[in-house]
Amino acid sequence: MSKPKSPARQRWRGLLPWLVPVLIVALWQLAAQVGWLSTRILPAPWAVLRAGYELALSGELFTHLGASFARAATGFAIGGGIGFFFGLINGGYRLAEHLFDTTLQMVRNVPHLALIPLVILWFGIGEEGKLFLVALGVFFPIYLNTFHGIRAVDPALVEMGRSYGLNGWALFRQVILPGALPNILVGVRYALGFMWLTLIVAETISATSGIGYMAMNAREFLQTDIVVLAILLYAVLGKLADVAARLLERTWLRWNSAYQPA
């Protein structure tokens, strides 16, 4: 520990990470106002904010946000659930690993976005296709990290648990799952990243609602302010998902000092 910092200095430290973004936005606004930057290329930040305000007033913004969020959550639940399940059984049973792992590793090496033409053929441009892509995108990070998490559980602790009368479900719930949790949550954070990425691509290709649809629609009418707004919304949603994952880490991994705020 170094010498105690004064509260004023600490406040400065808290603001420091925001210095660069604020400067960039200020410069951007200046460039747009002076006319260095054509609004066809990039609208002023102020114009983006106004577009957001107007869309919020009309309610359109929330319809699209809600549609995107529902897709993300459903796809994540389906893909994450299946990934978690396979991670558990393949991590826990050698037989299951032998049976499934090679197949899954082969599928993993196909970029899931390359399947888009096929997915459109299969599902048309409805919801199912998008959910399928999101689910596929989140499946692998969760599968891989759950698998490694289970494998990385200290065998000494498992042996101890057994010799103290734990087995089956109790052993899994009290020793194996908590031991694998740090890895599983790493998988969740990766998966959240993949989730937004997949959703953006899926929504820009074919959709009748959602933020991606909003952006593509705006592009047709040269509404650059709405396009930029959509991009910013994705950034905000991504950040929120990351905050949620951190919150999970802080509550579920309370025991692990590595996951506690300094």
Partner 1 sequence: MSGIDRKEFERVAEQGLRPANGVAVQVQGAERRFGERTVLSTLNLDIRPGEFVAIVGKSGCGKSTLLRLLAGLDEADGGALSINGKPVRGLDDDTRIMFQDARLLPWKKVVENVALGLPGKKWAVWEAARKALAQVGLADRAGEWPTRLSGGQRQRVALARALVHRPRLLLLDEPLGALDALTRIEMQRLIEQLWREHGFTAVLVTHDVGEAVALADRIVLIEDGRIALDQRVELPRPRSRGDAAYAALEGRVLDRLLTVQALNARNQVRGKVVAIRSDEVLSEVEIEVVSADGRRDSVISTLTTRNLREHPLEVGAEVVAVFKSNEVALALPR
CB contact at 8 A, 143 and 87: yes
CB contact at 8 A, 198 and 137: yes
Q: Shortest gap between Cβ of 248 and partner 1 (angstroms)?
A: 14
Tokens of residue 156, six digits: 């000494």
CA distance 156 to 254: 22
The dihedral built from the CA positions of residue 24, 26, 29 and 31, taken in this order, carries a sign that is: negative
Of 49, 136, 151, 142, nearest in space to 93 by CA:
151
The binder of partner 1 chosen from 103, 109, 251, 257 (CB under 8 A): 257
Q: Shortest gap between Cβ of 255 and partner 1 (angstroms)?
A: 4
CA distance 38 to 32: 7
Q: Shortest gap between Cβ of 91 and partner 1 (angstroms)?
A: 18
Q: Residue 113, SS3?
A: helix
Q: Shortest gap between Cβ of 163 and partner 1 (angstroms)?
A: 6
Q: How far is CA 23 from the centre of its chain?
A: 27
Binding residue count for partner 1, defined by CB under 8 A: 21
Per-residue binding string, partner 1, 160-179, x by CB under 8 A, is xxxxxxx---x---xx--xx
Q: In angstroms, what CA-CA distances link 220 with 125, 129, 258?
A: 19, 24, 48
Q: Shortest gap between Cβ of 221 and partner 1 (angstroms)?
A: 54
Per-residue binding string, partner 1, 123-162, x by CB under 8 A, is ---------------------------------xx-xxxx
Residue 129 or 161: the one with the smaller Cβ distance to partner 1 is 161
Residue 37 or 166: the one with the smaller Cβ distance to partner 1 is 166
Stretch that binds partner 1, among 82-90, 119-127, 227-235, 248-256 (CB under 8 A): 248-256
Q: Shortest gap between Cβ of 252 and partner 1 (angstroms)?
A: 9
CB contact at 8 A, 195 and 72: yes
For the residues of 179-191, what is the DSSP string, one character each? HHHHHHHHHHHHH
Q: Shortest gap between Cβ of 165 and partner 1 (angstroms)?
A: 4
Q: Kindly state whether residue 260 participates in binding partner 1, applying the rule CB under 8 A.
A: no
Counting every residue written for the chain, the total comes to 262
Q: Kindly state whether residue 255 participates in binding partner 1, applying the rule CB under 8 A.
A: yes
Residue 134 or 175: the one with the smaller Cβ distance to partner 1 is 175
Of 205, 214, 193, nearest in space to 68 by CA:
214
Give the footprint of partner 1 on this chain (CB under 8 A).
156-157, 159-166, 170, 174-175, 178-179, 181, 253-257
